[in-house]
Amino acid sequence: MDKLKILDASFLYAETKNTPMHIAGLQHFELPPGADDEWFGALRRYIADRVHRVPFMTRRLKTTPLGMDHPVWVPDTTFDIEYHVRRTRVPSPGTQRQLEQLVARLHEEPLDRGRPLWQFWLVEGLEDGTVAWYSKYHHACIDGMAGQAIIDILFSDDASIPPVPD
């Protein structure tokens, strides 16, 4: 068990229904030719094979007895990659405004503290034929530098990239 540091725990303590403490990113991509439902399954498996290299991605929070100390990270014994890597569509015609509205709805939902504190969404149906990738992490887990390291680890075929330290 790894106890949260005071700064990381403060993001949990400061969170309210109206003030979520998660951070996110949104990117646009062109899918490879022939991408289909099997491609998304392969993407999900690709991420599942790598999340263990980023410790918080397979851990959940556990509160201490009587809240006497900061929460601790424990292994999520029921980790479900399908919960964390999802797909959705914008309604036709798939405008930028519709994408922004969808992302706003996804972003306003708090992360479930009974699960690892992150989610990825592949957003399809954009009018220009691209897809969007929405990444959402609780700020108790990462900062900007860690966010870049996570992208490097999860989406690189370079086996020499070291795991993110605890």
- Catalytic choice (22, 70, 84, 139): 139
d(CA 57, CA 43): 16
Measured from the Cβ of residue 142, the count of other Cβ atoms closer than 10 Å reads: 22
Q: Is 138 marked active-site?
A: no
- Cα 49 to its chain centre, rounded Å, is 15
Judge residue 22's burial from the number of C-beta atoms within 10 Å of its C-beta, 0-12 exposed, 13-18 middle, 19 or more buried. buried
Catalytic residues: 139
